[in-house]
Amino acid sequence: MSKKKNNSKKKSLASKADRHDLYLKSVQCPEHEVWFLNKTFKKEFGRPAALLREDFCGTAAVCYEWVKKKTARNAIGVDIDPDPLQWGRENLTANLSQAQLDRVQLLQQDVRIVNGQKADIVAGQNFSYWIFKTRPELLGYFKSAHANLADEGILMLDMMGGQETLEEDREEITRKNGFKYIWEQKRFDPITHDCSFYIHFRFKDGSELKKAFEYHWRLWTIPEVTELLAEAGFDRVDVYWEGTDPKTGEGNDVYRVKKHAPSDPSWIAYIVGVKSKK
Ligand SMILES: C[S@@+](CC[C@H](N)C(=O)[O-])C[C@H]1O[C@@H](n2cnc3c(N)ncnc32)[C@H](O)[C@@H]1O
């Protein structure tokens, strides 16, 4: 009798889960992001980048990874929400030395503020800039990112699109170690391009962390973004398109600059705004 009582009191896996930890395990790969940022800057300017400004940094996982690899690197992480910044401080810094930590500066503020040392790279990843829903708002952000860059620098953004991203009530379920990561496209308005996405996590005991993260964005298109970047002052804008694995027909995680691409039902690309010395 008492055993049954104890079992019923047992906490569900969802109630014990840490949403930031699950997000990191599902969405982000800081090592890969750092590798790609570095490679893209080096290709452009023939030298390594020293200062990364990670806009919309969340837990600042990419900033911590950036300073870990090389002593000549510094990072500024910017996020308006103190919660992920604090989680990152408490959970992502154990393997960093004091000297490495001293090279990370976290700013709890709006990404549109222009301040701090001018960066070699400004990165705004995971579609976060889609929070800006109007042309003037997005242009304003791109202008401040341009002003936060040194005379030679790049702004790295990612993009997603394709017919499937326009569908409502579409779920993509990915099996992870011990849980399932669910990306739900809930709503897409073809007139305004307003869209809502949710991240849920499902566990082996059937419990769920519903709406662990939610995003209410405008689904921008590549031409809109590239035109606004040019208007904001970037000297060149490149689109890095993912190649296809001939065996599977799926993306191969290799991104190269392309002027044209085939229509793919679901794609991810990078857009790089280049600021160079006149
Ligand atoms: C989609 S998450 C991205 C987290 C992380 N950069 C990544 O790549 O996974 C978006 C983040 O942007 C932050 N954010 C939203 N609007 C912002 C703004 N105007 N200025 C600064 N941060 C903002 C949110 O607090 C949230 O942490």
DSSP letters spanning the chain: -HHHHHHHHPPPHHHH--HHHHHHHHT--HHHHHHHHHHHHHHHHSS---EEEEET-TTTHHHHHHHHH-TT-EEEEEES-HHHHHHHHHHS-TTS-HHHHTTEEEEES-TT---SSPEEEEEE-TTGGGG--SHHHHHHHHHHHHHTEEEEEEEEEEEEESGGGG-SSEEEEEEETTEEEEEEEEEE-TTT-EEEEEEEEEETTS-EEEEEEEEEEE---HHHHHHHHHHTT-SEEEEEEEEE-TTTSSEEEEEEE-S-----SSEEEEEEEEE---
- Provide the pLDDT confidence category of residue 6 given band limits of 50, 70 and 90: low
If you measure from the C-alpha of residue 59 to the centroid of ligand 1, how many angstroms do you get, rounded to a whole number?
Answer: 9
pLDDT-above-70 percentage for the chain: 96
- Provide the pLDDT confidence category of residue 8 given band limits of 50, 70 and 90: low
Mean pLDDT of 57-79: 95
- Higher-confidence residue of 153 and 71: namely 153
- Provide the pLDDT confidence category of residue 161 given band limits of 50, 70 and 90: very high
Is 239's C-beta closer than 6 angstroms to any atom of ligand 1?
Answer: no
If you measure from the C-alpha of residue 10 to the centroid of ligand 1, how many angstroms do you get, rounded to a whole number?
Answer: 34
Q: Is the pLDDT of residue 1 over 60?
A: no
Tokens representing 221? 């298109």
**Best mutation site among 55, 79, 109 for ligand 1, i.e. most ligand atoms within 8 A of its Cβ?**
79
* Domains, the chain: 19-163+220-275 (3.40.50.150), 164-217 (no CATH)
Burial class of 123 by CB neighbour count within 10 A (0 to 12, 13 to 18, 19+) = buried
Atom of ligand 1 nearest to the CA of 127: 1
Could you tell me which of 233, 213, 257, 189 has the C-alpha nearest to residue 43? Answer: 257
What digits encode the pLDDT tens for the residues 239-266? 999 999 999 988 899 999 999 999 999 9
What digits encode the pLDDT tens for the residues 78-125? 999 999 999 999 999 999 999 999 999 999 999 999 999 999 999 999
CB atoms near residue 191 (< 10 Å): 5
Q: Is the pLDDT of residue 268 over 80?
A: yes
User: What is the spatial distance between Cα 257 and Cα 104, in angstroms, rounded to a whole number?
Assistant: 31
If you measure from the C-alpha of residue 257 to the centroid of ligand 1, how many angstroms do you get, rounded to a whole number?
Answer: 26
Is 84's C-beta closer than 6 angstroms to any atom of ligand 1?
Answer: yes
Mean pLDDT of 161-190: 96
pLDDT-above-90 percentage for the chain: 92
- Provide the pLDDT confidence category of residue 162 given band limits of 50, 70 and 90: very high
Is 27's C-beta closer than 6 angstroms to any atom of ligand 1?
Answer: yes
What digits encode the pLDDT tens for the residues 177-229? 999 999 999 999 999 999 999 999 999 999 999 999 999 999 999 999 999 99
